[in-house]
Amino acid sequence: MRLSQMLFVTLRDDPADAEIPSHKLLLRAGYIRRIGSGIYAYLPLMWRVLQKVSQIVRQEMNATGAQECLLPQLQPADLWKESGRWDTYTKAEGIMFSLIDRREQQLGLGPTHEEVITTIARDMIRSYRQLPLHLYQLQTKFRDEIRPRFGLMRGREFIMKDGYSFHVDENSLKETYQDMYQAYSNMLRRSGLAFRAVEADSGAIGGSGSTEFMVLAEAGEDEVLFTEDGKYAANVEKAVSLPADAEPSRFTTYEKRDTPGTETIDKLCQFLKCSPTQVVKNLLYKVVYANDNTLLVLVSIRGDQEINEVKLLNELTKKRDQYGRTSTVLSLTVSDISDQKIWATKSLPIGYIAPDLSSDYIATRNFTRQELQEELKLEIDEIIKDLPLSPSYSLLDIKEAVKNKCNASNLSQQENLFNALKKIRELQLKYPIAMERYIDKTAVELKNFVTGANETGYHVVGANWGEQFQLSENVVDVRKARPGDRALHNPEQTLQSARGIEVGHIFQLGTKYSLSMGASYTNEQGEEKPLFMGCYGVGVSRLAQSAVEQSYDKDGIIWPVAIAPYHAIVTIPNINDAQQVEIAEKLYTELNQAGIETLLDDRDERAGVKFKDADLIGIPYRIVTGRAIANGKVEVVERATRKSQEIVIDEVKSTLKQWIAAAIEVKN
């Protein structure tokens, strides 16, 4: 391709809205163009990079026996409601673009395709003879990001490879999972990237286990914890470790102490001259579920540790309501003073809370008939006629009664009932229905510890579980692992930290979707069994930008040879020099015919401008038809090392073929 004929515009200065180096460089070098918040056009150079990444992905997927297909971007909400994820994606995380069509049907633009593929499997897979089956697609996905940033790293529209496998049992699933682990490793190596595979939290997709593939880069949004022996690596959200040993307590008897102005761990330890490892700190969270129930959660943890809110969220998601149902957590926040003004019966002793904080602090509202009549604007006697006679009623009971009435009512009555449900939801969000208590494992074994006294300005010392404080049944691991912690597999190894960009994620879903959506097969014995599933994603556009984030210098991009838009660029320093032009045209033709993808910079620009643009766009090899042609040679500059050498013109083709083959082979 000739640059004079190409849509090619470079910028000398960094765009104001670009934050990280790769974002700045892709914009400056004319690879992408911002169309709107989180929305980018892939320009010709970028599209060639994406095609090369896609080709590597396809080759590795096809080599495992996976079959390519294409699934719809527009998905009916009913499928997501079947799986139970509609609320998660439209309310809790709020990342799905949802809409209502002219037929009043709810639809979503797919951020992922588990529901669609499970529907296909449910309709088409009948027998164990059809299994295992692995389907994948390369597709544009959509996420309604709250704060799109970093260019293609966190956009609202992106290109992704997502695959889904179906199996008769867990063993078959694990075989494909291992195949994908190897295939993903191959994809990243072939793309010329330094990466690390790490244990990960499965998040809203779910399943029993997952692995993330992180491209190592300082601008990575994720923190990775790993050991130098190579036997452990995990996203900090998932990571586990051994905390430092607790120091022996200096307190031997239980007593209440006056501790004014010690609302933080540091101040408390300075005042009492004790170690934070002998303190039990207690944090109060407010949790809102998709069923509109609001709970308070008191978490007790050792004073020198932090709470990993992803781990806590996973524990809270397991909780079942009084009807035996689990519900999506919409929000998890530390309860603050403005929030407490609504539901607290009296001022909470913030900074001095004990593990046995009384539920009396919570105004768990029950409503009388008159209050319900005023709040809901309904004939309340008709609503509660099937409930046990009581002077007051909980919001949860009233909500179920209104729902039942709504289902049995005609259309003219339903509008008032829907308004009542909306009002009940508003009341539920204001008033927690109960307090749950969780204790982290780091606090369980402490003896003679220090903790709050449930009174501002006071703590207790020398406290013990089973004596002054009852040990909660909810003993959990919700501590945040951190650099310097000892590793579980070998306490002599300590956790190190690195930043990473997640470009791939593989999941063992098990029967999560097949059970909720009724996807089954018939086994050899004629029994109907749920399908075991796996899913496997690679961010194609994110991978391309992460390559830039990992490899650049002050002058521009340094593309790995395997995914560079072109292998070489022939630069004519003086377009008015007939000999320079003639040799450049000859090399341009010969190299392309030999399979060496080559650009020709034939623009009428100064040599310095051309050299700067060549560095900026990051083509691996630059061939300059300058002064060396007087000796029958051209200058060849390697972009990655800046190494320059003069090569005989007739040997350029063979030399470049050798270099390119070697560069790609090293990564394979």
Question: In the structure encoding, which two tokens stand for residue 516, read together?
Answer: 């909720």
Query: For 25-42, how does the pLDDT look when each residue is reduced to its tens digit (9 = 90+)?
Result: 999 999 999 999 999 999
CB 220, CB 212: distance < 8 Å: no
Query: For 583-597, how does the pLDDT look when each residue is reduced to its tens digit (9 = 90+)?
Result: 999 999 999 999 999
Among residues 532, 597, 668, the alpha carbon closest in space to that of 166 is found at 532
Give the separation between CA 598 and CA 591, rounded to whole angstroms.
Answer: 7
Alpha-carbon torsion (220, 222, 228, 229), positive or negative: negative
CB 579, CB 627: distance < 8 Å: no
Query: In this predicted structure, what is the pLDDT of residue 343?
Result: 73
Query: In this predicted structure, what is the pLDDT of residue 522?
Result: 97
Query: For 490-525, how does the pLDDT look when each residue is reduced to its tens digit (9 = 90+)?
Result: 999 999 999 999 999 999 999 999 999 999 999 999
Q: Where are the beta strands (DSSP E) in 511-567?
A: 520-522, 528-530, 532-539, 552-553, 556-557
Long-range contacts of 420-425 (CB under 8 A, 24+ apart): 420/376, 420/377, 420/378, 423/375, 423/376, 424/292, 424/376, 424/395, 424/398, 424/399, 425/292
In this structure, the chain runs to a length of 668
Query: In this predicted structure, what is the pLDDT of residue 323?
Result: 43
Low-confidence residues in the chain, pLDDT < 50: 322-324, 411
3-state secondary structure of 542: helix
Judge if pTM exceeds 0.85: no
Give the separation between CA 219 and CA 610, rounded to whole angstroms.
Answer: 29
* The 3-state secondary structure of 293-337, one letter per residue: CEEEEEEEEECCCCECHHHHHHHHHCCECCCCCECCEEEEEECCH
